[in-house]
Amino acid sequence: MSQQPILEIRDLRASVEGKEILKGINLTVNPGEVHAIMGPNGSGKSTLAQVLAGHKAYEVTGGEALLHGNDLLEMDPEERAREGVFLAFQYPVELPGVNSTYFLKAAVNAVRKHRGEEELDAADFLALVRQKMKVLDVGEALLKRSVNEGFSGGEKKRNEIFQMAVLEPTLAILDETDSGLDIDALRVVADGVNKLRGSENGMVLVTHYQRLLEYIVPDVVHVLYNGRIIKSGGKELALELEEHGYDWVKEHAEEVGVGQ
């Protein structure tokens, strides 16, 4: 593989209902890297994730985002997914009556078809799913149910990571997947994420807690504040944040003139 970045975001601006939320984001994720994004409530973390996934409620007003050098923002949401972008939602929606296995198989085959690969038949798909279930400690019962319907908060999150493991995306964006997970589940999810980590793909983890980063050690930590990344650093930055809070970065940012 060349050293072309997986994701390159330059001066990305986006608004919702006429209100600017992202005010110029710059971020580069190279193959093999895990980036953590932290920041206070309402700073725009989920907005960034949704914009990258192509949610049409968010209007991109400036800048660009490239996936393997291709214009990501031009693509339909399903095309982005088929190109390897996966978003683990902060609030996964329920699909009543839609069988989980059926749903996941449709997803896997949509990606395979896009890549020009043969679609998996029921047997091959089941084999794949069984193997991933073991890794993520997901019970078969969950797969027999409707997608996310009646799942507990933690089950929904775990299901997102399970889907991710099955789909093996090149760019995974995890929006607060750790919130609502108990300690054991957190460890299982982190294991799953670490297994996916490889030299070919990249990850963006949105989180409020340093705890997750103990299990999934990031290469870079960014602080998103009021629609901008105001500080980036190594994994120690997360620790510092935990200790001093966001006001500390804010003041620091104002000192160096990146705040507003």
Partner 1 sequence: MSTDLETIQHVTESEYKYGFATDIDTEAVPPGLNEDVVRLISAKKGEPEWLLQWRLKAFRHWQKMEEPTWHNVHYPPIDYQSIIYFAAPKKKAKSLDEVDPELLEMYEKLGIPLNEREALAGVAVDAVLDSMSVATTYKDKLAEKGIIFCSFSEAVREHPELVRQYLGSVVPHTDNYFAALNSAVFSDGSFVFIPKGVRCPMELSTYFRINAQNTGQFERTLIVAEDGAYVSYLEGCTAPMRDENQLHAAVVELVAMERATIKYSTVQNWYPGDKEGRGGIYNFVTKRGICAGRASKISWTQVETGSAITWKYPSCILKGDDSIGEFYSVAVTKNYQQADTGTKMIHIGKNTRSTIVSKGISAGFGQNTYRGQVKVAKGADNARNYSQCDSMLIGDRCGAHTFPYLEVSNPTAQLEHEASTSKIGEDQIFYCNQRGISTEDAVSMIVNGFCKEVFRELPMEFAVEAQKLLAVSLEGSVG
Ligand X SMILES: Nc1ncnc2c1ncn2[C@@H]1O[C@H](COP(=O)(O)OP(=O)(O)OP(=O)(O)O)[C@@H](O)[C@H]1O
Choosing from 32, 40, 62, 77, the residue that interacts with partner 1 (CB under 8 A) is 77
Out of 87, 165, 189, 190, the residue judged to bind partner 1 by CB under 8 A: 87
Question: Quick check: 76 binds partner 1 (CB under 8 A)?
Answer: yes
Window 45-64: residues binding partner 1 (CB under 8 A): 53-57
Sole binder of ligand X in the list 23, 45, 82, 157 (CB under 6 A):
45
Nearer to partner 1, 169 or 218 (CB): 169
232 counts as binding partner 1 under rule CB under 8 A: no
Rounded-to-integer distance, Cα 81 and Cα 85, Å: 5
How many Å apart are CA 102 and CA 61, to the nearest integer? 37
What SS3 state is found at 133? helix
Q: Is 93 helix (H, G, I), strand (E, B) or coil?
A: coil
Residue of 10, 13, 16, 154 that binds ligand X (CB under 6 A): 16
Of the candidates 46, 163, 177, 207, which one interacts with partner 1 according to CB under 8 A? 163
Q: What does each C-alpha distance from 105 to 89, 121, 128, 166, 229 come to in angstroms?
A: 19, 9, 10, 9, 37
- Interface with Mg ion: number of residues (CB under 5 A): 3
Report if residue 46 touches Mg ion, rule: CB under 5 A: yes
Q: Kind of pairing, strands 171-175 and 85-88? A: parallel
Give the Cβ contact number of residue 238 at 10 Å. Answer: 23
By rule CB under 6 A, what string of x and - marks binding of each residue 81-110 to ligand X?
Answer: ---------x--------------------
Residue 210 CB-half CA count within 13 A: 12
Q: Which of 68, 114, 145, 235 binds partner 1 (CB under 8 A)?
A: 114
What is the CA angle 32-34-39, rounded to 5? 160
Q: State the residues that interact with ligand X by CB under 6 A.
A: 16-17, 21, 39, 41-47, 57, 90
